[in-house]
Structure 1
Amino acid sequence: MNQRFIVTKEHRRFTEFANAVRRGHTIGLCFGPAGVGKTLSARRYARWDQTHDLLTDWGPRTEDDANVYAALAKSRTVLYTPSVLTTPRTLQEELHEVVTRTNICIEQHLHPVGQGPIVTSRKRHFENYVQLIIVDESERLRATALELLRDRYDRDNIALILIGMPGLEKQFSHYPQFYSRVGFAHQYRPLGNDELLFVLQRHWVTLGKTLDPADFTDAQAIAAIARITRGNFRLLERLFPQVERILKINELDTITDDVIEAAASTLVIGVT
């Protein structure tokens, strides 16, 4: 999904939080309900949509890769998402691989050595340029995995952010050696009324329309969206393709509360 990223207040708050964790070389916890935008903000901060493919499909270089090197050199951040069945050994190996590859790319940006394939060599030492590791879906981690992360944090002085659902901070409080190193905790909240209106204006423009909160029909549509989504960013993003579909099928020009209700009826909406 190649939608333009919408910079909300919550994303700015996440950026400030991540910068503080990174500058302080500490551990931060970010928690919030599913769908509010935690992962989107983390990917944006780490420039992961731009860099992920190169770091995953490690092979011959192209001229376009210079842009990826520059992005990694600017973010100095690695984003890692453990699978449900990730073992501590797998976590250790996968993190080592992505951090090593990121360091190689940053070195390529700072000290270009020409084109051609880059091969990791055990004989060559790369400086540790990575300053922050963000772990998404971190409630999947167990005690041994947390100890591995703590050990990396202690040895390499790389800041760490763990992202998860509400209650994450309570879950990790059961591991005092890890929890004592936590410097910041950040709650990622759903969209407030002003932010919701800002995001909706962008969606109206995308559909070639203008949103006027003072117009009764638009006000009803806004109220319906607020009631249905409760400020959940992911649900909002899922709703509008259906709104567009309803408008086309019925040859309608105006987004009304009936259109919103019809669009919402096609979605599986859980508790937000």
Structure 2
Amino acid sequence: ITAIIDLGQKLHVVNKYGHEHSKHYSDMFKYIDLIIVDEIDRLKVQHLEQLRAIYDEHNLAMIFIGMPGIEKKLSRYPQLYSRIGFAHEFDNLSKDETHHILEYKWQDLGFDLKLEDFTDYEAITTIIKITKGNFRLIHRLFAQIDRIMDINGLDKISTEVVETARDSLVIGIR
């Protein structure tokens, strides 16, 4: 985090005072090989231009992460878009991948997942129905499941716990 804040401060100095401070600007990229930008769809045009300039000047690899449709938005900026090697849209998790994640989440809460246990089976079925393989939603749902179980002193994930967790999220499905 400190490195990111430091990078942001140095970029601010360059933007505000111009290239008389560019030596410091160049030095900060000496040990950086990769820049990962999450929520690229929330950046303004001038920030996208800044990333393009950094890419051009320092030949750094960059990964942009954004919501579906970001490729179309970036295509409106040909100077930046021409430098994008490829775009990949992640699909929802498969049934097997979802089961693997759920098994991990169960263990993370200190429980063993037993599909032969009807309560576990029902809870898993409900989670799969709610999340439809959306990894981020699974993560958010389990944060609520953990909170609800902790508050109520529960030692088993049940359909009721899952549905209560779902009801505490803003996910637009019922």
Give the TM-score category using the shorter length: 0.7 to 0.9
Q: Which residue of 2 aligns with 1:45?
A: none
Give the one of 81, 104, 109 matched to 1:207. 109
TM-score, normalising length: structure 2: 0.73
Amino acid in structure 2 at the alignment position of 1:262:
T
Cα pair distance change 1:192/1:175, threshold 3 Å: same
Cα pair distance change 1:92/1:270, threshold 3 Å: farther
Q: Which residue of 1 aligns with 2:18?
A: none
Structure with higher helix content: 2
Cα distance per residue 1:231-266 (max 9 Å; x no partner): 233332332343345445656543222221122222
More displaced 10-residue stretch of structure 1: 163-172 or 211-220? 211-220
For residue 201 of structure 1, report the CA deviation from its aligned partner. Answer: 1.3
Q: Give 1:1-272 correspondences, 5 Å limit.
A: 52-53=1-2, 56=5, 92-93=11-12, 128-247=30-149, 252-270=154-172
More displaced 10-residue stretch of structure 1: 167-176 or 199-208? 199-208
SS of residue matched to 2:65: strand
Segments of 5+ residues of structure 1 without an aligned counterpart are 1-51, 59-77, 81-89, 97-120
Return the alpha-carbon distance in structure 1 between the equivalents of residues 58 and 122 of structure 2: 54
Decide whether the 8 Å contact of 1:134 with 1:160 is kept in 2: yes
Pairs aligned (count): 165
Cα distance per residue 1:100-135 (max 9 Å; x no partner): xxxxxxxxxxxxxxxxxxxxx95xx67722122222
Cα pair distance change 1:261/1:94, threshold 3 Å: farther
Return the alpha-carbon distance in structure 1 between the equivalents of residues 109 and 44 of structure 2: 45
Q: Give the alignment's Cα RMSD to 1 decimal.
A: 3.3
SS of residue matched to 2:72: helix
Segments of 5+ residues of structure 2 without an aligned counterpart are 16-22
Decide whether the 8 Å contact of 2:29 with 2:58 is kept in 1: no
Stretches of 4+ aligned residues off by more than 6 angstroms: none
For residue 91 of structure 1, report the CA deviation from its aligned partner. Answer: 9.3
Return the alpha-carbon distance in structure 2 between the equivalents of residues 140 and 245 of structure 1: 30
For residue 164 of structure 1, report the CA deviation from its aligned partner. Answer: 1.1
Cα pair distance change 1:205/1:160, threshold 3 Å: closer
Cα pair distance change 1:147/1:193, threshold 3 Å: same
Amino acid in structure 2 at the alignment position of 1:133:
I
Cα pair distance change 1:184/1:91, threshold 3 Å: farther
Return the alpha-carbon distance in structure 1 between the equivalents of residues 51 and 3 of structure 2: 24
Return the alpha-carbon distance in structure 1 between the equivalents of residues 86 and 120 of structure 2: 40
SS of residue matched to 1:187: coil
Cα pair distance change 1:218/1:144, threshold 3 Å: same
